[in-house]
Chains A and B, each alone.
Chain A
């Protein structure tokens, strides 16, 4: 790559950062999106309220305080997994991606913009979840270590989920099919140890849960926010921080190897007539 090509890439990355900021602003000033972002933390807060008085099986520890960190982990996983897949499918059909393709280094700007937007909006939803929930679940251990570890889990969580999501969003045939991805994610929540300790589940289900990022992101958030003693209820009686980074790292590597290939293949098929065909299909069939 020549110096000028490198400069052009850098300018595209900078433009992508501003794109991410602009799209975040649009998201946060759009009523429907805001309702969505506020509704989820409110629902979780209600779940935590219902759990009041219950304790983690075999301990005196409040179940709500145990579930809150898991919800943080789940928010990271959901933000990273569902968001990009959904938007890429929509952006392909409405021509956003084609515009990016018709612009020099436009795809670089597009991808950087998406990563920034999903990192920022996921961060907002986590803050909205943590602040009201702290008043309900008071037995959490919060210190500099908590925030440092949470930040790390957040970053690793984004890196391990966004590329996979981009790949999945490029694979689905239409925006309507991303509903299937949502359904699959919901199913994977069950063995993730987020709403109920994974150790109370059958062994085979524990293995299924441990294969996906949901469990590990929940575990990571718990290790950051819960007292050291609570590790005893986890698999192996430990936070397994090292294993967490390894598993999430593997997901990141898979995603980063897969995403550019699938995205490029999908983008190659984009043209004015492909967008027109999608428009025609949606206008006549409604999806």
Chain B
């Protein structure tokens, strides 16, 4: 069994490494050549509009889906060949619905923690102490409550606890805060920070919310129609996306607006001020990362009916939307 866990040829030092990942359902390419990697302890935000391929990507990394082509490595192992020892180092935060409704919080965590005991090592003690974990997620007072009596936010925090009870080295979260109120969302973000800072856990989180990606992730990857359109820190992306700038000024009693398509509006402004001495109320505005991302989302939503012809992919897209609507 252990012979099957030989490291994949890519990314032995990386926590995650994906090269030229492709996924095809029928005739529709859901992922067409996705390449990225993450170092240990890095928090990666996978951002994109609905149907961009986020869920497919994360499910391939979790080992729940077989890619059509490409090299994938999670902790040096191809997820399709990952054995139980590999599985013990991976945490998957699932969105619970009504499973284990009669189980009590501590009962379920105790049960799941047992599976990780044989995989404990001196350098990586597993699992978490269950009571300590319950304390971390703030459910101490509900430790003996049945799961079906928990509120949505409480249950989602328990989902996170279940995902990390084995002290994983890599954690996957697919749209974890869909349906959260702002307060629950913030608590969740704090928990993520704690995990990456204190435990040096590598985290891959998918979201369609730029604000969330900015708050949680060290690095953001923007996926659109199965392709990576941007990859970098928030600052890098802001610079990369801020290609267009708008210059407004008053002159001769009239308001002027000029769009600068190049990267730097400085040259235009210098010329303007040199030529026209009446300029007042000069204003230079860069398109923000948000403007650019919103344009991307709008285009994805208004785009040609990409899903109409392929029922397979339609289902795929539908589920992402569903989890956002219901979560």
Interface residues of A (CB under 8 A from B): 1-2, 4-5, 7-8, 11-12, 14-15, 18-19, 22, 26, 30, 91, 94-96, 98-99, 101-106, 109, 270-277, 279-280, 283
**Known contacts A272-B95, A272-B323; 11 further A-B pairs (Cβ under 8 A):** A1-B1, A5-B84, A11-B118, A26-B103, A104-B84, A104-B87, A104-B119, A105-B84, A273-B55, A275-B94, A279-B97
- Residues of chain B in range 71-119 having any CB-CB distance to chain A below 8 Å: 83-85, 87-88, 90, 92, 94-100, 102-103, 107, 111-112, 114-119
In the complex, are the beta carbons of A272 and B166 less than 8 A apart? no
Interface string of B119-152 (1 = CB under 8 A from A): 1000000000000000000000000000000000
- CA of A36 to CA of B35, assembled, Å: 55
**Does B198 touch A at the CB level, under 8 Å?**
no
| CB closest residue in chain A, given B323 | A276
- CA of A187 to CA of B159, assembled, Å: 43
In the complex, are the beta carbons of A18 and B94 less than 8 A apart? no
Contact of B97 among A2, A109, A271, A275 (CB under 8 A): A275
- CA of A271 to CA of B92, assembled, Å: 11
In the complex, are the beta carbons of A22 and B322 less than 8 A apart? no
| CB closest residue in chain B, given A22 | B107
20 A-B contact pairs sorted by A residue (CB < 8 Å): A5-B1, A5-B84, A5-B85, A18-B114, A22-B103, A95-B94, A99-B99, A102-B94, A103-B112, A104-B88, A105-B115, A106-B112, A271-B59, A276-B320, A276-B323, A276-B326, A277-B315, A277-B319, A280-B318, A280-B322
Contact of B94 among A98, A109, A280, A283 (CB under 8 A): A98
In the complex, are the beta carbons of B319 and A273 less than 8 A apart? yes
| CB closest residue in chain A, given B320 | A273
- CA of A12 to CA of B112, assembled, Å: 10
Q: Tell me, rounded to whole Å, the shortest Cβ–Cβ distance linking B324 to chain A.
A: 9
- Known interface pairs A12-B115, A104-B87; A272-B174 also in contact (CB < 8 Å): yes
Residues on B with beta carbons closer than 8 Å to the beta carbon of A283: 326
**Does B62 touch A at the CB level, under 8 Å?**
yes
**Does B316 touch A at the CB level, under 8 Å?**
yes
Q: Tell me, rounded to whole Å, the shortest Cβ–Cβ distance linking B76 to chain A.
A: 17
Q: Tell me, rounded to whole Å, the shortest Cβ–Cβ distance linking B296 to chain A.
A: 22
**Does B64 touch A at the CB level, under 8 Å?**
yes
Q: Tell me, rounded to whole Å, the shortest Cβ–Cβ distance linking B19 to chain A.
A: 22
